[in-house]
Amino acid sequence: MPKGYHHMTLDIRSQIYALKSTGMAFNKIASIVGYSASTISREIARNTGSRGYRYKQADSMTKERRTKASRTPKKMTEDTVAMIEEKLQEEWSPEQISGRLKAEGIVSISPESIYQHIWKNKRSGGTLYTHLRHHGKKYNKRSSGKAGRGCIPNRVDITERPSIVEQKVRIGDWEGDTIIGANHKGAIVSYVDRCSKYTVLKMLENRTSDLVTQATIATLKETNLPVLTITYDNGKEFSEHSKIASELQADCYFAKPYHSWERGLNEHTNGLVRQYLPKATDFTKVSDKTVQKIAEKLNNRPRKVLNYKTPLEVIMMHQNKRPPPIALCA
């Protein structure tokens, strides 16, 4: 299934029509045309007329709904709700859904509206909230000035970060986060270098600020790599960032609350780790040795953004005093 919301074309609908006419199951049709089974099921259910599913009629019905939706952009249409709920079940955050819908030109809907839909669903007995990263707490609007997680002393906003960090042209600009185990037991502290994509992981018993701070200092020192800046989210486990900065001779910055895309590389890397350690994993049964093997796999995986070199290869070029071309770190 395509990861984004790709408008279904007339050609795709004609394929669905032909395959459906043979009596083929939805999941097999989905596999052939490249969409999820739920998308195929929804397509047929919503675009079936009195004479059954016909691809030209289905295309016209969809265009008519979109035209109506464009006239009332603030209203969450049935199609919009379905897309939001589908992506929530795939563990997308409301911010990611909102941003992707807007980027695809489908609809402009705020993260706040998506959160409101989630909590309305919960009040009626629904389970959408269980797909949120922090599903035990309601979303606080940014206008309130309180981000829930953001009580960070001496916090320096990402807007103060040097512009060169955004260019990804040097080794030593890191993004940091923690990955939480099932039932909030155990944690992995996760760091990734913005230029090389080199990943550093460390298993912890918990994510207290003291333990995270100790692990961060020790682990990043062990790499023997430059640590110029670190960009965090607003988790309280990073409240001792001043100590980290002092020990590593680095500058620490914090992304804006609910702006996960400002640390997009770290979020993406955590997702790669989750391929090996899904959210239901009991971290109390996962050893640091296992975590280091995961980091090793990630650092030896060719990346398109690095011209198909591995993060480790880029780091080795740096350590041999042959800095990689800018194109490698784009």
pLDDT band with cut points at 50, 70 and 90 for residue 187: very high
* Local structure of 116: helix, strand or coil: helix
Using one digit for the tens of pLDDT, what is the confidence trace for 236-294? 999 999 999 999 999 999 998 878 788 888 888 998 899 899 988 999 999 999 999 99
Give the dihedral of Cα atoms 212, 213, 217, 219; nearest 10 deg. 0
- d(CA 4, CA 298) in angstroms, rounded, equals 24
What mean pLDDT is predicted for residues 93-102?
A: 82
- d(CA 5, CA 82) in angstroms, rounded, equals 11
What mean pLDDT is predicted for residues 49-56?
A: 90
pLDDT of residue 110: 87
CB neighbour burial string for 68-77, b if at least 16 within 10 angstroms, e if fewer: ebeeeeeebb
Contact assessment for residue 199 and residue 299, using Cβ atoms and an 8 Å cutoff: yes
Long-range pairs for 324-329 at CB < 8 Å and ≥24 separation?
Answer: 324/195, 324/196, 326/169, 328/195, 328/196, 329/168, 329/169, 329/170, 329/194, 329/195, 329/196
pLDDT of residue 139: 46
pLDDT of residue 262: 84
Tell me how many domains the chain contains: 3
pLDDT of residue 223: 93
6-10, 80-84, 310-314: range with lowest mean pLDDT: 6-10
Residues 103 and 187 in one domain: no
Residues 268 and 174 in one domain: yes
Domain assignment present for residue 209? The answer is yes
- d(CA 266, CA 262) in angstroms, rounded, equals 9
pLDDT-above-90 percentage for the chain:
41
pLDDT of residue 284: 93
What mean pLDDT is predicted for residues 129-146?
A: 55
- d(CA 34, CA 40) in angstroms, rounded, equals 10
Residues 78 and 35 in one domain: no
- d(CA 277, CA 180) in angstroms, rounded, equals 10
- d(CA 290, CA 296) in angstroms, rounded, equals 10
Most confident of 75-79, 137-141, 160-164: 160-164
Give residue 32's region: left, alpha or beta (phi > 0; psi -120 to 50). Answer: alpha
CATH of residue 202: 3.30.420.10
Range of the domain at 119: 73-132
Both tokens of 147, joined, read 């981000």
Domain assignment present for residue 279? The answer is yes
pLDDT of residue 134: 57
Residue 136 has pLDDT above 60, yes or no: no
Residues 15 and 124 in one domain: no
pTM: 0.54
pLDDT of residue 75: 62
Contact assessment for residue 315 and residue 306, using Cβ atoms and an 8 Å cutoff: no
* Local structure of 247: helix, strand or coil: helix
- d(CA 193, CA 52) in angstroms, rounded, equals 54
Residue 148 has pLDDT above 60, yes or no: no
pLDDT of residue 9: 86
pLDDT of residue 68: 63
Domain assignment present for residue 299? The answer is yes
Residues 65 and 93 in one domain: no
Residues 196 and 225 in one domain: yes
Residues 260 and 311 in one domain: yes
